[in-house]
């Protein structure tokens, strides 16, 4: 039993219908979860349109994890409109690296660009959880999204590889810090999927083709695959799981030598 009916979720990272976080919203909503979205102001009109498609969205407030105060804004707005309410699930589906992280070899990426990528794509998990904690029920489940370039080389992913490695480390550290209070924090390592964020990765089309041809399942994953695993991690079915990085990648990460190498 999923037992999610009437639970409350904060979902951060919806920018469009292609967003992995949007598929997660749909999946959580189907299980009876009430949703509160944190959105970047530049996507406001899109969020207004999407809200019409999902009645489970009970509220949506601006959130920018680049600054502490702008992160706090979301929780102030949530608490003002919903006094005394707390959430059971936090979805952190946020990633960003400036263009300067991708348009030159990693040796020459500017410090400022590295810092931005690390702040938004990795350290924001800590920032979100710190602000969210007073509004989380005991036994909450937080799920963040990562990518396998955290542990293995993927050409063109560059600084985002470092950010994802740090994000996975935050997942372990925070799960140990908050575990004694019953909070769980896990990461899902998704295979590549065409989204707004992915379109910024040079060569993403070729990476998708390569994975589809060589993953054990001989296909790419989609938003729905990731949302399914997220639903499990959000529910009590995964009650003994924390600090983990779960791969939803059609099995690609377990391969080393592609079949074509020996043909």
How many angstroms separate the CA atoms of 248 and 167, rounded? 17
In three-state secondary structure terms, 167 is helix
Catalytic residue among 157, 247, 252, 260: 157
Catalytic residue among 39, 147, 247, 252: 147
User: 96 and 123 in contact (C-beta within 8 Å)?
Assistant: no
Which region, judged by CB under 6 A, interacts with ligand NAD, from 2-10, 16-24, 81-89, 176-184? 16-24
Residue from 34, 90, 120, 122 in contact with ligand NAD (CB under 6 A): 120
By C-alpha distance, which of 143, 132, 133, 159 is closest to 65?
Answer: 132
- Under rule CB under 6 A, residue 50 binds ligand NAD: no
Q: What is the largest CA-CA distance in the chain?
A: 64
- Under rule CB under 6 A, residue 122 binds ligand NAD: no
Phi, psi (degrees; rounded to nearest 5) at 130: -60, -45
What are the residues whose beta carbons fall under 8 Å from the beta carbon of 28, sequence distance 6 or more?
A: 4, 9, 11, 35, 56, 89, 91, 230, 231, 234
Residue from 28, 93, 117, 118 in contact with ligand NAD (CB under 6 A): 93
Residue from 43, 72, 73, 177 in contact with ligand NAD (CB under 6 A): 43
**Which residue has tokens 């059971």?**
88
Residue from 88, 91, 95, 244 in contact with ligand NAD (CB under 6 A): 95
Which region, judged by CB under 6 A, interacts with ligand NAD, from 29-37, 94-102, 179-187, 237-245? 94-102
- Under rule CB under 6 A, residue 14 binds ligand NAD: yes
User: 33 and 89 in contact (C-beta within 8 Å)?
Assistant: yes
157 is catalytic: yes
- Under rule CB under 6 A, residue 44 binds ligand NAD: no
DSSP letter assigned to residue 148? G
- In the complex with ligand NAD, the residue whose CB is nearer, 139 or 202, is 202
Residues forming the site for ligand NAD (CB under 6 A): 13-16, 19-21, 40, 43, 63-66, 93-96, 120, 145-147, 190, 192-193, 195-198
Cite the active site residues.
Answer: 147, 157
């Amino acid at each position: 039993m999923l037992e999610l009916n009437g639970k409350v979720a904060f979902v951060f990272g919806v920018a469009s219908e292609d967003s992995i976080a949007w598929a997660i919203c749909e999946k959580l909503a189907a299980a009876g979860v009430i949703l509160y979205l944190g959105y970047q102001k530049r996507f406001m009109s899109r969020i207004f349109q999407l809200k019409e498609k999902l009645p489970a969205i009970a509220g949506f407030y601006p959130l920018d994890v680049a600054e502490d105060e702008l992160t706090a804004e979301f929780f102030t707005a949530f608490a003002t409109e919903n006094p005394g309410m707390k959430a059971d699930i936090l979805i952190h589906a946020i990633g960003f690296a400036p263009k300067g992280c991708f348009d030159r070899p990693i040796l020459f990426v500017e410090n400022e660009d590295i810092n931005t990528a690390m702040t938004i794509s990795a350290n924001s998990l800590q920032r979100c959880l710190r602000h969210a904690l007073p509004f989380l029920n005991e036994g909450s489940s937080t799920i963040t999204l990562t990518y396998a370039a955290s542990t293995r080389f993927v050409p063109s992913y560059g600084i985002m590889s470092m950010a994802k490695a740090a994000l996975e480390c935050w997942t372990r550290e925070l799960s140990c810090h908050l575990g004694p209070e019953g909070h769980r924090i896990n990461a899902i390592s998704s295979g590549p999927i065409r989204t707004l964020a992915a379109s910024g990765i040079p060569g993403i089309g070729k990476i998708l083709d390569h994975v589809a041809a060589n993953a054990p399942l001989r296909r790419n994953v989609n938003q729905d695959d990731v949302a399914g695993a997220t639903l499990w991690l959000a529910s009590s079915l995964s009650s003994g799981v924390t600090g983990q990085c779960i791969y939803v990648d059609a099995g690609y990460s377990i391969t080393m030598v592609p079949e074509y190498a020996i043909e």
